[in-house]
Amino acid sequence: MMKNFRETFGKKLRSIGNAEFLDDSSAVVKIPVWDMCFLPIGVLLFRFKRFLCLGALFSLFISILALCMREGYFCGFAEWGDDAYFGCSKSMPMYITFFLLRLLIISVFLRAWYRSAVCGGDINIREALTISPLDWKMFISLLIVLGFLCLPIISIYALVLRVPNPDWRIESLYFAVVSSGIWLPLVGLRFFSIPAFVMAGEQRPGLKVFWCKTADNTLKLLLSIALIFLLNSILLINFNVFAVSLIEFSAVTALLADFIYNLLFLLMVASFCSVSIVQKEMLFAWTDDNAPEKKEK
């Protein structure tokens, strides 16, 4: 039984990113909870060496960018954080610029990682370091996803700082509009496979198709995101505890900690994108008789 499970799991991993079938019908798809939760982890581990090669390269770029713009991970931890050369920038425009440039580097990394580590293509360093129109689409997609993730924080902040209005109609309308930011990200989970279409460079179906196919699957999608979030939180919390000693030891170890943090950050982004990729495959490539294990038979 365990052997059959490993074979089925392996066939699904090998088929990811190489599906020849795209179902754009609006039929509801039953998403297996086990596959939805653990296949994204398998996507990362399947060709983990390729991820490390690409991740180390792009982590180096982000570290150099952070050092030049004085926005490194070590900012605020090291005793020499206020140093004239290594000190941290306190400029908000500088931070926003660094944030956008880092997001663009991440977009280029995701495209290279998807084609190499997910689809199994050869690593082409020259192509990986070239910014293409696809990277700009991925950049915009990431901004939209981050915007949805920030909605609950904005909603809670607006509700806490609100000044109560004596008119109950205005108060009710304000509460209804502002609190929508808390449940809108849950609705957005049903469209979480769209970034996978962007990474693959494929034309996505209409939004109505996503809505119909993911009916009764919101809880399963939430569980998969929650598992990835929990694993990344454990990893980053433990690294933060370990990194404090590295940062305070010397400037070299602080830069090393910054490099490792950026590599872990790329791992976190890739893990969430793996959820999007698996969701795309389940909804549009593994439907009905087109599942990898059935095609093999």
The reported pLDDT for the residue numbered 20 is 54
Closest CA to 195 of 184, 204, 207: 204
Q: Which long-range contacts (CB under 8 A, 24 or more apart) does 143-150 make?
A: 143/103, 145/195, 148/184, 148/185, 148/188, 149/185
Q: Residues 6 or more apart from 3 whose CB is under 8 A from it?
A: none
Counting every residue, how long is the chain? Answer: 297
Place of tokens 């700009």: 136
The reported pLDDT for the residue numbered 83 is 56
pLDDT along the chain (297 residues), means of 10: 59 69 66 85 88 93 88 66 62 88 94 88 79 90 89 85 79 83 85 89 84 84 91 89 74 81 94 91 68 51
46-73 per-position pLDDT tens digit = 889 999 999 999 999 999 998 888 887 7
The reported pLDDT for the residue numbered 293 is 52
CB of 174 within 8 A of CB of 162? yes
CB of 275 within 8 A of CB of 40? yes
Domain ranges of the chain: 34-132+204-286
Is residue 31 helix, strand or coil?
coil
The reported pLDDT for the residue numbered 6 is 63
